[in-house]
Amino acid sequence: MDQLLPPEIDEAARSFASALAACGDLNALMRLKGAYVGREGSHAARMMDLLKAAPKEHKRELGAQINAYKQQWEEALKGRQTDLESAKKAQDALAAGWDPTLPPPVPAAGALHPLNRLMDRLVDVFRPLGFHVEEGPEVETEAHNFDGLNIPDDHPAKASSDTFYLAAHPELLLRTHTSPVQVRTLLRVAPTLAERGGIRFLAPGRVYRKDEIDPTHSPMFHQVEGMLVGHGIGMQHLKGTLEYALRTLFGPHTEIRLRPSYFPFVEPGCEVDVSCPLCGASGCRVCKGSGWVEILGAGLIHPNVLSYAGIDPTVWSGWAFGMGVERMAMMLSQTPDLRLFFENDQRFLKAMGGLD
């Protein structure tokens, strides 16, 4: 076989492996490639010329030999090129400051939304007082959202200008507050209320109202409802509980004040303010200079609400409150625009760590 190719080609073939190993970089490799398999002047090109000039009876054997060499060279060159390229890549990365000893990046895990975290925190404040969580549907009946709460038919909240009614089911609506969970829960526990010795719960969740979107309004927002039913419950219990809860949330020096207000499902009803947790009640933008921030509506459960659920208001009494979660979150985080909570900008959501 060997005798068909001139000695210098066999010589080149023998020295190929060591020449390849001696290529320390891609430039040297390209030169070697040119010398062995390049279009012109290479060993491969010279072999092709020889093949053309060879006598017919030798062409087949010579062709096979040439092909074997060419294939072997090309494959080896390609393999070496891949190695040199990845070595160069690693070298460049090291030069650019890549540190292979660093641990790999931790994949980003999901996290609770700041409003959910704040609601969890409220639940945590009340849990040690024996409160558990009750839930109700966001699509509610008129009966649970209004009638069971002593809200009369001509109340403005019932108007379709304020409330989202379901077009196909006019008796259904998107609940306008978390108070229908009061009605559902009282109806459910009424038969066993005496055995239980009363009930106390929180009901966090979404509520809906036909409000235009602006920095302080959204047609969907969150409330946390609180309710307690027992014997001989009065305003003093409501005030004491709220004082404890709001001091746990806003700090031990927080003062609260109750102002008379009206909600059909409580009597007496009140609005509750906290001394501004941001300025220590000296007056700032958040409390509009007054030193107080309104935080929730509350009151003693109206006898009609207990009666509707089949609970005797001469035996049982209690209190209820409802607070706006966005309002509290905005105050705690000094966020001026409620829409930020719903736009899901990761930078904003991550910066909301202060609500934990």
Binding site for ligand PHE (CB under 6 A): 177, 179, 263, 266, 269, 297-299, 320-322
Task: Read off φ and ψ for residue 183, nearest 5 degrees.
Answer: -65, -50
Q: If we measure between CA atoms, which residue out of 218, 219, 237 comes closest to residue 227?
A: 237
CB-wise, 9 or 115, nearer to ligand PHE? 115
CB of 186 to ligand PHE, least distance (A): 13
Single-letter code of the amino acid located at 137: P
Nearer to ligand PHE, 320 or 352 (CB): 320
CB 150 within 8 Å of CB 104: no
Complex with ligand PHE: residue 65 or 179, whichever CB lies closer: 179
Q: Nearest distance from residue 193's CB to ligand PHE, in Å?
A: 19
DSSP β-ladder status, 132-133 and 199-208: parallel
Give buried/exposed letters for 263-276 (b at 16+ CB in 10 A, else e).
bbbbeebbbbbbbb
* Alpha helices in 23-164, H assignment, sequence order: 26-37, 43-53, 56-95, 114-126, 142-145
What are the tokens at 74? 């090309």
Task: Identify which of residues 148 and 269 has a Cβ nearer to ligand PHE in the complex.
Answer: 269
| Bond prior to 268 in cis (omega within 30° of 0) | yes
State the minimum distance, in angstroms, from the CB of residue 149 to ligand PHE. 8
Beta carbon of residue 126, minimum distance to ligand PHE (angstroms, whole number): 14
| Residue showing the smallest CB distance to ligand PHE in the complex | 322
Helix-strand-coil split of the chain, %, nearest 5: 50, 20, 30
Cα 255 to Cα 132, 190, 243, 280, 327, distances in angstroms: 26, 35, 7, 10, 18
Of 277 and 299, nearer to ligand PHE (C-beta) is 299
How far is Cα of residue 156 from the mean position of the Cα atoms in its chain?
A: 36
Rounded to the nearest whole angstrom, what is the least distance from the CB of residue 154 to ligand PHE in the complex?
Answer: 18
Rounded Cα gap, residues 195 and 350, in angstroms? 46
SS3 (DSSP) at 201: strand
**Judged by CB, which is closer to ligand PHE: 105, or 156?**
156
CB of 327 vs ligand PHE, minimal distance in Å? 11
Q: Least separation, in Å, of the C-beta of 269 and ligand PHE?
A: 6
- Closest CB to ligand PHE among residues 269, 277: 269
Specify the 3-state DSSP secondary structure of 278.
coil
Minimum Å gap between C-beta 200 and ligand PHE is 14
Check residue 150 and report its DSSP letter. Answer: T
CB of 33 or CB of 177, closer to ligand PHE: 177
